Structure 1
Amino acid sequence: MKIVLAIDGSDFSKVAIDELAGMPLPSKTEVCIINVFENPMLTAPGALPLGGTLGNYYEEAVSNAKKAAEDTVNDASKSLKDKNEALSITTAVVDGLPKSAILEKAEAFDADLIVVGSQGHGAFSRFLLGSVSQLVATHAHCSVMIVRKRNSKEK
């Protein structure tokens, strides 16, 4: 079985990681953990560092976003591996639009399943582009598992 786990570091992503880690998976399951970081110039207003030229701002903002994305997938990989040593895990960090990048990775990976959190970072992006999980579920060529964060009343 091949699974793409799309995460962004949000609480909803952490729930998706935990849910996947707790699933009884077939032996030789391959998991590709992907984090798509969006152009920092279009997201968080505090993402730009102070000082230097505009080009330096942009390069440093992209570098910071990429580093944060790499840390996120590495932490998720460690968490999954700690809970299920049999998993074969690869990671990918992509600069782009989350919906497109997730679908492209799933197709290239020949995924049987995409796992995403029900919500994530990027309220502004969601306002402009719609829910990533909804768009992935609508356009994916494989099954999609959308993991919801349970509130304390549901436990």
Structure 2
Amino acid sequence: MTFEYKRILVAVDGSKSSERAFEKAVAIAKRNDAKLILSHVVDTKSFATVDAYDRTLADRSEVYANSLLEDYKHKAKAVGINDVEVNIEYGSPKIKIPKDVAKSFNADLIICGATGLNAVERFLIGSVSENITRYANCDVLVVRKEETK
């Protein structure tokens, strides 16, 4: 029995590990003729110390997210993936990706990059990829950084 993924969600944030996650997502989507959902969650905890009326940081984050996702969408379409959708959310990526975004798109695979947190940070706050694997209702592929040769 073979299993094919039909709705692949890739979480991107502009980091090197999310770039590698995107590359793997594109390869898997092509192989499975799947829909590719590109998602970026604007982490609102970074706005916690900003005056509620100062929308500058939020606006810049949204502009960045749109630019990032449109760039990835263009790259995916350039290699032959026709069904590509972009998604921007606000909140905590570790909660939004597995509990909201994946469910709303009925994703059967989530792909994300491994984070660069050290052991203490992981213990105190937990990594995004760790939380996605814990709370997702579908398969999750965590892409590690490229091996140095």
Kept in 2, the 8 Å contact 1:11–1:120? The answer is: no
Corresponding residue number in structure 2 for 1:143: 139
Q: TM-score, normalised by structure 2?
A: 0.82
* RMSD of equivalent CA atoms: 2.2
Kept in 2, the 8 Å contact 1:8–1:120? The answer is: no
Q: CA deviation at 1:119?
A: 1.4
Q: Secondary structure at the match of 2:55?
A: helix
Question: Gaps (5+ residues) in structure 2?
Answer: 1-5
Q: CA deviation at 1:78?
A: 1.3
Kept in 2, the 8 Å contact 1:6–1:115? The answer is: yes
Corresponding residue number in structure 1 for 2:148: 152
Q: Which runs of 4+ in 1 moved over 3 A?
A: 125-128
The superposition leaves residues 115-145 of structure 1 with CA deviations (integer Å, 9 ceiling, x where unpaired) of 0001169xxx867531000110111100000
Question: Gaps (5+ residues) in structure 1?
Answer: 49-53
* Change in 2 beyond 3 A, CA 1:128/1:60: farther
The superposition leaves residues 57-93 of structure 1 with CA deviations (integer Å, 9 ceiling, x where unpaired) of x31110001111111111111112112x233000011
Tell me whether 1:88 sits opposite 2:74 in the alignment: no
Q: How do 1:73-152 residues align onto structure 2 when only pairs under 5 Å count?
A: 73-83=69-79, 85-103=80-98, 104-119=100-115, 129-152=125-148
In 2, Cα distance between equivalents of 1:14 and 1:100: 21
Q: 1:62 aligns with which of 47, 58, 78?
A: 58
In 2, Cα distance between equivalents of 1:115 and 1:131: 14
Kept in 2, the 8 Å contact 1:126–1:132? The answer is: no
The superposition leaves residues 89-116 of structure 1 with CA deviations (integer Å, 9 ceiling, x where unpaired) of 0001111100111111101111110000
Q: CA deviation at 1:17?
A: 1.1
Tell me whether 1:22 sits opposite 2:17 in the alignment: no
Corresponding residue number in structure 2 for 1:51: none
Q: TM-score, normalised by structure 1?
A: 0.79
